[in-house]
Chain A
Amino acid sequence: MTTNGSATKTMTAKTATQNACKLCNPLGACLAFRGIEKCVPFLHGSQGCATYIRRYLISHYKEPIDIASSNFNEETAVFGGSHNLKLGLKNVTQQYQPQVIGIATTCLSETIGDDVPMILKEYKAIMGEADLPTMVFASTPSYQGSHIDGFHAAVRSAVQTFATGGAKKNLVNLFSGMISPADIRYLKEILKEFGMPFMLLPDYSQTLDGGPWAEYHRIPPGGTPTSAIAESGSAAASIEFGSTLEAKKSAAGYLEESFGVPRHQLPLPIGVKASDRFFTLLEELTGQPMPEKYEDERRRLIDAYADGHKYVFGRKAILYGEEDLVISMAAFLREFGVVPVLCASGGKSGLMKKRMLELIPDLEELEIQVREGVDFVDIENEAKVLKPDFLIGNSKGFTMSRKNELPLIRVGFPIHDRFGGQRLHHLGYRGTQELFDRIVNTVIEERQNSSPVGYTYI
């Protein structure tokens, strides 16, 4: 009998995925749909998908997250989901009175080959288009890609549905990717202070991190207004975060192709250099200098790097999570000499190493391993060899952290074993500062706890 505690002494099973370092496609779509104003996410599939995804998102965001489902049964699976989808749309419209219904497929409806756009067309014809909510549709079969693909598919689909062309306006689009509500609020603050009108999508900063209610809101207040998404086609430019996000799969890619809105793809702005790139681009696009407030934030960050550098130089870290987060975090760690010995993701874009080399040219010399499509058993096996000083990633790494006595610095999603994951900052000078402080403190705490002296000054 081999127990959980000593599982890896024999060969590791390679075929199955063990303790996955990814989630399924529809989860990302539901999350993105939550960032559109007056939108209800709707999964075309079994009841379980909606319920599991709700439960999972709630564990991180601590907010009610209603996701409707077309509740497949056996007949639906045999005869197709058309009837259930139409009935479901009617019911959810009656009960939630949404302006938008964000429909995402599941492995079930994709496998039986439901033609959702066709069904929606029929539904509109039956119901008469006038009073219907707008339907946004993303194809998100769970047997393809991971949650991040569903996220981007939903954002792209929202833009495809609402964006119209027209004379260029003084407007910037920001497609900020799968980031925390706190990060979204910070980005909005920055854009506002640059004085440039903007459209940020998806904005779940309030819908997934809002205040108390006197009445139940079928749809929580907040989110990107559809009128704003409509204008995205006439924006002067789009900024899109995500190193591995290809234009053909992205919202900004669509706007560039269809309406000639230039797409500026940036890595997630984590670290001084990546944040500089973001702020510089904002300066270029708006013609405004960076507001003094952010100059200050930057100065404090540079100062903190100096104050903290000795604690962290040469330390080794394992990074895991969505590819884009891992890539940006790795470049950030290099700014103060931490070596991200393993950069791992359950995602499989095929682009991860290439993008990392652009940001970390000495990647090979440093023997940084970049691995796509891995699970937590793979990561743990590597950890045993690489002996890192700490782990950086979401809560799913806790088991590995505990077993191998490695401190875990929690970032990204999901964080369901600590409080306030939705309020963590990762981006810009402010987010970088917060991350840097946490990393330095992790090292200090470890030193303090393991010292027989019990230093009160470290």
Chain B
Amino acid sequence: MKGKEMDTQNINLLEGREKQVYEKTAGGAEVDIACEKTSLSGSVSQRACVFCGSRVVLYPVADAIHIVHGPIGCAAYTWDIRGAVSSGPELHRLSFSTDLQEMDVIYGGEKKLYRSLIELIDQYQPNAAFIYSTCIIGLIGDDIDAVCKKVAKEKGIPVLPVHSEGFKGTKKDGYKAACLALMKLIGQGSTEGISKYSINILGEFNLAGEAWIIREYYEKMGIEVVATMTGDGRIDAIRRSHGASLNVVQCSGSMTTLAKEMEEKYGIPFIRVSYFGFEDMSKSLYDVAQHFPERPDIMEKAKEIVRDEIRKYYPEMQKFKAALAGKKAAIYVGGAFKTFSLIKALRTIGMSVVLAGSQTGNQQDYKNLKEMCDEGTVIVDDSNPVELSKFILEKEADLLIGGVKERPIAFKLGVAFCDHNHERKIPLAGFIGMYYFAREVYESVMSPVWQFAPRKGGAQ
């Protein structure tokens, strides 16, 4: 009921976390945010693990089978959880596990892995197989590389080990392990017939068909897209991706390693882009066009696309802006790069940002974030529900942007929510994605249900 004793004592930041939280104030001390650390024991981090990092990066490769080597949990919790769609095969939506039992842990799981692989490859005839090692594989000493080699030889397809033991680092290390696996494929295919005006789209996972939207823009510009990694991914496309002239990297956290490797090995330069919001989306087309100065028609096409698309959605955006102007948002997402785009996208619809944070940002990310943010904005690295909710309430945020684990925090506190994670079913990338984003924010922020929330005076 109203007025009931509330749980209001101020939270104390955990010892060891003070440096992962920063509030931008006028004349405030310049503090380097501590980041890229493993999460503190006993904190309820919103992060996952190395395995999760590898799994998210490789998940959308749709003509490969993904086998999780370990006890059942890791495979069960990642079965068909993402909105990464495929235009053809859908092997990525199946869940395979060696489901190790106690005896396997004692005597080793290599034989079980071998049998599993042979049988699954016979059954599904995939173009490749990824084998993810989970926590205990490192401990029981299974030589998964040897098993993979053997099976690859017998079956004539790439069988790629992904060293993603959960405890061996953070999610970022999982990204790296995934990139390493992809590097083993790249360079294996023929680059014959690939246009000079070609790119790979990296770090785009085709959630709700986003890669298709982006691909279409580039193709309209006269650019050939050799491979998307890994959205709607195909083994053959990845194998010949070293034939592209440029790597265009979104979700820089997960794919910069790969772009750097490809630059080193194949001399392919890369640029970082973001497809969220009109501003960054337009820039990502212009930046690619600029890479091909000898073809001014590409830039012309890019400008035409931007013009047409913005014209299409601008009037609707004004309606959203009129309603949302002055509202405050909190952002807590996986990668910091996405945070930058979201701040800009929110400004487009008249909203300010009072909390910005990520699970895996680095020093430079947070420095940029500090520069971008308004005064009073709280910046957090690797936060947790207690901290997030404290800042959301203190700063009177009207909206939280995050993922599944953040959603109930927002709803419990009577705050609107926009899902910007891997499970989303509505595309938020591209110009049309900005429209959907604004609409989703509008529908949640403006919903009449919040009138009943305790923070708005409703009964508790």
Report A's interface with B, CB cutoff 8 A.
1-5, 7-8, 10-20, 22-27, 42, 45-56, 58-59, 62-74, 76-77, 84-85, 87-96, 106-108, 111-112, 141-144, 146, 211-218, 396, 399
Contacts and interface: CB of A to CB of B under 8 A. Distances in A.
A107 B94 contact: no
Contacts of A396: 79
B194 interface: no
A97 to B, nearest CB: 9
A48 B460 contact: no
B412 interface: yes
Contacts of A27: 73
30 contacts: A1-B63, A4-B89, A4-B94, A13-B122, A15-B115, A16-B116, A23-B76, A24-B71, A45-B166, A47-B45, A51-B52, A52-B48, A64-B409, A68-B43, A69-B39, A72-B166, A77-B139, A87-B41, A91-B40, A91-B41, A91-B42, A92-B44, A107-B136, A141-B71, A142-B71, A143-B136, A212-B413, A212-B453, A215-B389, A216-B386
A213 B154 CA distance: 59
B405 A55 contact: yes
Contacts of A42: 42
A52 B74 contact: yes
Contacts of A25: 73
B63 A95 contact: no
Nearest to A143: B71
B40 A71 contact: yes
B412 A16 contact: no
Contacts of A22: 72, 76
A36 B52 CA distance: 30
Interface residues of B, number: 94
Given A11-B123, A215-B393, A48 B51 contact: yes
Nearest to B164: A48
B42 A74 contact: no
B454 interface: yes
Given A52-B77, A216-B386, A12 B123 contact: yes
A141 B139 CA distance: 14
Contacts, number: 288
Contacts of B115: 15
Contact of A13 (B120, B166, B167): B120
Contacts of A215: 6-8, 389, 393, 413
B390 interface: yes
Contacts of B404: 55, 58-59
A76 B453 CA distance: 43
A51 B49 contact: yes
Q: Is the contact region of chain B dominated by helix, strand, or loop, or is it mixed? A: loop
Nearest to A91: B42
A62 B72 contact: no
B362 interface: no
B390 to A, nearest CB: 7
B189 interface: no
Given A62-B411, A107-B136, 6 more contacts: A10-B123, A20-B95, A45-B167, A52-B73, A72-B135, A84-B41
A16 B43 contact: no
Given A15-B116, A18-B95, A68-B44, A95 B140 contact: no
Contacts of B213: none
Contacts of B46: 51
A20 B166 contact: no
B125 A2 contact: yes
B206 to A, nearest CB: 16
B42 A92 contact: yes
B271 interface: no
Contacts of B71: 24, 107, 141-143
A91 B14 contact: yes
A70 B134 CA distance: 17
A51 B48 contact: yes
Interface string B351-365: 000000000000000
B322 to A, nearest CB: 28
B136 A1 contact: no
A142 B7 contact: no
Contact of B102 (A53, A77, A141): A141
B75 to A, nearest CB: 6
The 10 closest A-B pairs by CB, nearest first: A48-B49, A24-B73, A91-B42, A88-B42, A216-B389, A13-B119, A88-B41, A46-B166, A16-B116, A142-B71
Nearest to B412: A213
A96 B8 CA distance: 13
B222 interface: no
Contacts of B42: 42, 68-71, 87-93, 95
Contacts of B385: 64, 66, 216
Contact of A16 (B39, B79, B120, B386): B120
A212 B414 contact: yes
A54 B405 contact: yes
Contacts of B78: 52
B96 A18 contact: yes
Contacts of B169: 73-74
B88 interface: yes
Contacts of A45: 135, 166-167
Interface string B49-67: 1111000000000010001
Residue among B47, B99, B120 with most chain A CB within 10 A: B99
A54 B403 CA distance: 12
B306 to A, nearest CB: 37
Contacts of B11: 95
B104 interface: yes
B38 interface: yes
B139 A11 contact: no
Nearest to B174: A48
A214 B76 contact: no
Given A15-B115, A24-B73, A111 B105 contact: yes
Contacts of B97: 16-17, 20
Interface string B89-127: 111011111111110110000001001100110111111
Contact of B41 (A59, A71, A399): A71
Contact of A94 (B14, B88, B101, B126): B14
B70 interface: yes
A168 to B, nearest CB: 36
Contacts of A20: 72, 75-76, 79, 95, 97, 99
Contacts of A216: 7, 385-386, 389-390, 393, 409, 412-413
B119 A15 contact: yes
B45 to A, nearest CB: 6
A22 B460 CA distance: 37
Nearest to B403: A55
B130 to A, nearest CB: 14
B266 interface: no
